[in-house]
Amino acid sequence: MKFYTNSIKSCTARIGKLTEFNRIPNSNFETPLVLVYTKSGSVPHLTKDVFEMVTSDPQMLSVSLSSTYQMFESVKDTNINFANFVGMKEYINILTLHDPAYATPSGFQEMDFTPIWTRKGKCKLSPKQYMDVIEAFKPDMYVALYDGDTKINSSRKRLSNAIRRTTTFFEKCFSIHSSSETLKSSEILGVIEGGYDKEARSWSIEFLKDKPLIGYVIDGLHNNGPDVKNISTEQIKEIVEYTVNLLPVEKLKVSMGCWNPLTVLDLVELGIDVFDTSYPYVITENLEALTFLCDHQDCNNIGHVISFTEKRYADDFSPICRLCECLACKNHTRAYLHHLCNTKEMLSTVLLMIHNLHQYFEFFKIIRENIKNGTLDDYKKKINLKFKTQNDIVQTDDQ
């Protein structure tokens, strides 16, 4: 697997390419890229057949160990890779530790173990146990074991412990990775920790920057979950910019979590290459539809989301967006979606997930086009207006 970029500057929006995958040699992905969020290896609310109708473009899947760990023994016994086990062999997959759509409980770290939270509760993993899972799953790319239990108000002691444990875990994981015949075709990502402390970030980067890695995950900014969408760029910009400036320009930079589209655009401008679709999943779970791409009069969508729990849509027989090409917009009305949501029909989240994923895929296509055209700043201003208008509407309704 290789990552190429023409960018020679840090902290700048850039186009790159991920290519030369061992398992699917013809796969090529342009960055900035969004990974498809999965639960138990599948796209939430969608069967594989339906997902294939959402997009015909090649996609990369984000697979969290917390949602798949219960499959470990079965995957190991069948002796096939995880992609084949879950019937998603056509897709490149990246294995991560925690589920970005759900808050990771804080304060359960131990010296030689990292906890993950599965359907059966807490499971403790040592580096050896973690690498046993990796060798069974055989992901195309995976994140080294880490301690990412930090956020904006973490103490220096917590930051120091997180870095010390993450570096120790990496050394053990990388040693097993390097000697493993099974993992010769898998790439490992290093994890940059340090919370919001620049000195701590420097320690973490100094340890990893010369390692033979395809890229890095910039972690430790949050504990996952829906609240991440409320984190503003102002909170994270300084520390992300500092971190990216210290990392090798030519390496891949990843930031997981359900960042809102405004923050995604700012992170793209800071040189982040890879994100995930946990944001549209969280929006779907809220029974909302993304409308922040709408910039025309026909739809009358002036904010970035609409909620189908609101009575105003009960007699609205227009689609979510008249110019959207997704299956939900081409075949169903807002009134029907309002009915489905209020009667708690399963089809409601199916249709909303179809629409929200389609919108997010289009969003990243537009980001790449604007980077190539040198118009990303103008596009950011347009999207900012959508979020500003939505906030104005909310404040007016509250009054």
Do 249 and 10 meet the contact criterion of CB atoms below 8 Å apart?
Answer: yes
Buried b (16+ CB within 10 A) or exposed e, 4-30: ebebeebbebbbbebeebebeeebebb
173 is in an annotated binding site: no
Q: Is 304 annotated as a binding residue?
A: no
HEC states along 25-54? Answer: CCCCEEECEEEEECECCECCCCCHHHHHHH
Pairing status of strand 16-19 against strand 2-5: antiparallel
Strand partners, 8: none
> In the numeric block, which tokens belong to residue 397?
């309704």
Residue 52 near residue 59 (C-beta atoms within 8 A) = no
Maximum Cα–Cα distance for the chain, whole Å? Answer: 64
H-helix segments, the chain:
48-54, 72-78, 82-85, 127-137, 156-179, 198-208, 233-246, 261-269, 278-285, 327-331, 334-342, 346-373, 376-398
**93: nearest Cα among 69, 59, 117:** 59
Tell how far CA 313 is from the center of its chain.
31
Q: Is 329 annotated as a binding residue?
A: yes
State the CB neighbour count (10 A cutoff) for residue 63. Answer: 28
Is 324 flagged in the annotation as binding? yes
Q: What is the DSSP string of 212-254?
A: --SEEEE--S---SGGGGG--HHHHHHHHHHHHHHS-TTSEEE
Give the whole-angstrom CA distance, residue 225 versus residue 170: 25
> What span, in angstroms and rounded, lies between the C-alpha atoms of 150 and 194?
8
Residues annotated in the binding site, as ranges? 324, 326, 329, 355
Q: Which segments are annotated as binding site for Zn(2+)?
A: 324, 326, 329, 355
